[in-house]
Structure 1
Amino acid sequence: MHDTAAPAPTPPLPDGLTTRPLERSDSRAVFELMAAQERTDIGEVAIEEADIVADWAKPSHDLAARSVGVWDGEALVAYAELMGADRADTSVLPSHRGRGIGTWLAHWLQQRGRELGSTVVGMPVPAGSPGDVLLESLGFRVRWNSWVLRLPEGVTVPERALPEGYAVRAAEPGELPVVHEVLEDAFLEWSERQREPYDDFVASTTGRPGFEPWNLRVVLDPEGTVVGVAVVLVSDDGRTGYVDRLAVRRDQRNRGLAQALLVDAFARAREHGTTSSELSTDSRTGALDLYRRVGMEVTSNWVNRAIDLV
């Protein structure tokens, strides 16, 4: 059993700062805020504006009810957002750290989570970062670890032959429902969350800004049924191919399908001009050793810190 967090008064923000719910037109400002924080904390920018736009386009997400921006005049200097039941995201502009803004955001998230019926609220932060240290001091526990992995320059994932009769190709539009089913069935084996609505899935994949049909890869069994899926994206600067999601149906595992999908995804990304290959995984999946075995190296370590609300 974990100690639960008793409601506490939200501390005041520094004088001169104002707040309001975010609007879709704020996506660029949020991206620039998050990018500034990532440059400071991990030395590079991982977030893309398309990630934010796609999340905000999900029909189930009420941005006005689940977000807050902190403004210094016309400049967005911090924000917090609650997606679904328990996933939070926050950022504070590095130049505004040490003023109590992060503490205010943490209290705001707990209060809003309780109002929305959440039992726990958690968020990813780089391990050892100022955000990690702050959340620990506020009573947020580590739920799981996650890692970003990259293929070193000149290294490729070893080829893995598909079983006879299996094939990898781009998904066809009519296959989207089964693609969604394969992904959700696999991820819900270890992820404690509600099943993602199909319309939310569409908004974050085919509806994502910049999506092209080749980004959604599938493995077909000899009967032509989708049994594995990889979602591969290309960074805004065109240099990195990133496998956003990878899943194989439970009864089709241990046949090399995941590795074949990984090889295909990175190869297709290279065909579209990328020179770097990345993905992320976390401690709930047990996949870290698999990715290390095929030559990938950890480039950053994150922790998901959470606090119980009831």
Structure 2
Amino acid sequence: MPSTVPSLPRGYRSRPANVHDVPAIHALVAACERDAYGYVRSTAGTVAAGLARPGLVPESDTVLVLDRAGRLVARAWVHRRSEVDVHPEHRGRGLGAALLDWAEARAREAGDDGIVQTVPDTDSGAVALVRSRGYGPLATAWLLEFTMPAEPAVPEPPAGVTVRAFRGGDAPAAHVLVQDAFDAWQQRRQAYEEWATHTVEQPSFAAEQSSLAFVDGQLVGAVLALGATGSREGHLEQVAVRHDQRGRGIARLLLRHTFRAFHRSGRHSCTLWTHSDTGALELYLRAGMTVRHSSTVFRRDLRAQ
């Protein structure tokens, strides 16, 4: 059991999360996303993958907040970074502050030097709360979109480059490509099992809309896509091009292949999250994507407390 528990306002109680809570957690997260973005971008699969991330111990690293009727109204988790979600109908009652207290205490207990929270820029209350507690901006995250009223054109590939859709045996090579491409900005390399849980093993993984580029039979670029059942949008989960093949238009080529594949499947828009550490925003803007929403990644130093 965790040695830190949140001190909650009257009428609420807490407990750790477990795998049986995934549907309720997803309903909570969906309500928060709908309030912030106007639509739901998460799936039950992404929630389950988050609970299963290597090193996270649900008994000590997660908290669910229930109201008097036993309904899930807020949650938090902390493991190298943290997320806090409070249902829109229960905001303004001190739950967010209580869960921040818990997350910071748990991070200190785990020996972390700091803690990170990502907050939608439109959520002025949450932005004011984290700033009041000493959090400072670390990076900006953007939700980009590409709308397709008509089937998008696809450019001719550069010389020697071939493109095809993802196949089952491509996963190990795609994992290595993505980890190599993300080395410059991600904190650590993900083991295959962790990476796969969030991508190719997701129930919503869209293999037919995921595009791969090859040179001389070697994988040099990938766009890995998700397409949740019932969603009118496709989502680009990861975009990577091998370092020695950058600057040739491969990323734009793969993006366009994936956009076209989603259009042909009946989805007429695609989304993608990127952030300022990747330096890729201009690439996506040149490919025709536009910014739909922005969030700020805030960090608090815990060493001076």
TM over 0.5: yes
In the alignment, what sits opposite 2:269? 276
**Equivalent residue for 1:3?**
none
Q: Which one of 92, 107, 111 corresponds to residue 113 of structure 1?
A: 107
Deviations 1:91-113 (A, max 9, x none): 00112111111111111111111
C-alpha contact (below 8 Å) 1:156/1:295 kept by paired residues: no
Aligned pair count reads: 298
Displacement of 1:67 in angstroms is 0.7
Letter in 1 for 2:300: I
CA distance in 2, matches of 1:195, 1:166: 27
Q: Deviations over 1:266-310 (max 9, x none)?
A: 122222221212112111122222222222221111111111222
Identity %: 33
Q: Cα gap change, 1:288/1:166 in structure 2, threshold over 3 Å: closer, same or farther?
A: same
Give me the whole-angstrom Cα distance separating, in 2, the residues matched to 1:271 and 1:226: 25
User: Structure 1 residues 301, 210: CA separation in 2 closer, same or farther (over 3 Å shift)?
Assistant: closer
Deviation at 1:46, TM superposition (A): 2.4
Distance 2:261 2:48 in 1: 24
Give the aligned partner of residue 145 of structure 2. Answer: 150
Q: Match of 1:99?
A: 93
Task: Output the CA distance in 1 between the equivalents of 2:235 and 2:189.
Answer: 24
SS at match of 1:36: helix
Give yes or no for the alignment of 1:23 onto 2:5: no
Q: Is the 8 A contact 1:68 1:79 kept in 2?
A: yes
Q: Structure 2: give runs of 5+ residues left out of the alignment.
A: none
The offset of 1:248, in angstroms, is: 0.4
Q: Match of 1:81?
A: 77
Q: Equivalents in 1 of 2:23, 2:5: separation in Å?
A: 28
The 1:293–1:217 alpha-carbon spacing in structure 2 relative to 1, beyond 3 Å, is closer
Amino acid at match of 1:151: F
Tell me the amino acid that sits aligned with residue 33 of structure 1.
Answer: L
Q: For each residue in 1:137-167, what CA deviation from the matched residue of structure 2 results, as whole angstroms up to 9, or x when unmatched?
A: 1111111011111123426665332222221
TM-score (norm 1): 0.89
By how many angstroms is 1:14 displaced? 0.8
RMSD between superposed Cα atoms in Å: 2.1
Structure 2 matches for 1:1-310, cutoff 5 A? 12-73=7-68, 74-83=70-79, 85=80, 87-129=81-123, 130-154=125-149, 159-191=154-186, 193-222=187-216, 224-310=217-303
Instruction: Provide the residue aligned with 1:4 in structure 2.
Output: none
Amino acid corresponding to residue 98 of structure 1 in structure 2: G
Higher relative contact order structure (alpha carbons within 8 Å, sequence separation ≥ 6):
1
Going from structure 1 to structure 2, the CA distance change for 1:60 and 1:202 (only over 3 Å counts) comes to farther
Report the secondary structure of 1:104's partner residue: helix
Which runs of at least 4 in structure 1 moved beyond 6 Å after TM superposition? none
Distance 1:153 1:176 in 2: 28
List gaps (5 residues or longer) in structure 1: 1-8
Measure the CA separation in 2 of the matches of 1:196 and 1:23: 23
C-alpha distance in 2, partners of 1:233/1:58? 19
SS across alignment from 1:151: strand
CA contact (8 A) 1:238 1:273 kept: no
Give the distance between the partners of 1:301 and 1:211, measured in 2 at CA. Answer: 24
Over 3 Å counting, the alpha-carbon distance change for 1:11 and 1:274 in structure 2 is: closer
